[in-house]
Amino acid sequence: MSSLRWLPIAVVILVYGLWNFKQALMPQGISVANAAEAVNAPSAPAFTHTAAADWLNSKPLAWGELKGKVVLVDFWTFDCWNCYRSFPWLKATEDKFAGKGLQVLGVHTPELPQEYIRDNVVRKVGEFGLKFPVMIDNDYSYWKAFGNRYWPAFYLVDKQGKVRAAYFGETHPGDLNAQNIEATIAKLLAENGNGKT
């Protein structure tokens, strides 16, 4: 009987170990936030969906309309708990940099059958309280254009439309991923628009 009382502790240790192993496998992000590297940074791919029905909270956008803004592109899908658990941080970051030149832009790329249904995406955007533009990427065309592989994935695009940083995984206020992303946003916002501060 006494050996059974250690079973819950062993289970907790095992789950914690598996969680840390999964986190260790997840790339922690790349950044080309300094101005010297900006010259060689790739341009953000053109949006692959231009129909009004493929956009929520916005008309279809083009990168030319976003020039002069720092854009945080969030690849997510509504049944991904890592995605929706990151929304409190994402919305707080949007508020933190409100009026300073940050634009959050969601890309909903589905994984499960129910996530392909537009009405479900509309409902979930409302439930999660997302106010930023969301492009519905049911054919994975924008996912592929970015070469993305993860939910959630956060890409930072500078004022000239260059992809300057990428971060992956569930993110919460104050955690290391959040600190790194927010620091990069601040650096990119401080640039004068041609990669220089």
CA 127 to each of CA 33, 78, 120: distance values in angstroms, whole numbers, following the listed order: 34, 10, 10
* Whole-number pLDDT of residue 192: 82
Whether residue 30 is predicted with pLDDT greater than 60 in this model: the reply is no
pLDDT digits (tens, 9 = 90+) for 95-128: 999 999 999 999 999 999 999 999 999 999 999 9
pLDDT digits (tens, 9 = 90+) for 36-71: 556 678 999 999 999 999 999 999 999 999 999 999
Beta-carbon contacts of residue 109 (< 8 Å; ≥ 6 apart) = 75, 76, 77, 137, 138, 140, 142, 143, 148, 151
SS3 58: coil
Whether residue 21 is predicted with pLDDT greater than 50 in this model: the reply is no
Question: How many CB atoms are located within 10 Å of the residue 133 CB?
Answer: 19
The answer to whether 24 and 178 have CB atoms below 8 angstroms apart is no
Give 48 or 34, the one with higher predicted confidence.
48
CATH classification of 30-190, choosing from 3.40.30.10, 3.40.1160.10, 3.90.1150.10, 2.10.109.10? Answer: 3.40.30.10
Whether residue 23 is predicted with pLDDT greater than 60 in this model: the reply is no
pLDDT band at 3 (very low <50, low <70, confident <90, very high): low
Q: Tell me how far apart the alpha carbons of residues 136 and 143 are, in angstroms, rounded to a whole number.
A: 11
**DSSP labels, 99-144:** TTTEEEEEEE---SGGGG-HHHHHHHHHHHT--S-EEE-TT-HHHH
Sign of dihedral through CA atoms 65, 68, 72, 73?
A: positive
pTM of full prediction above 0.85: no
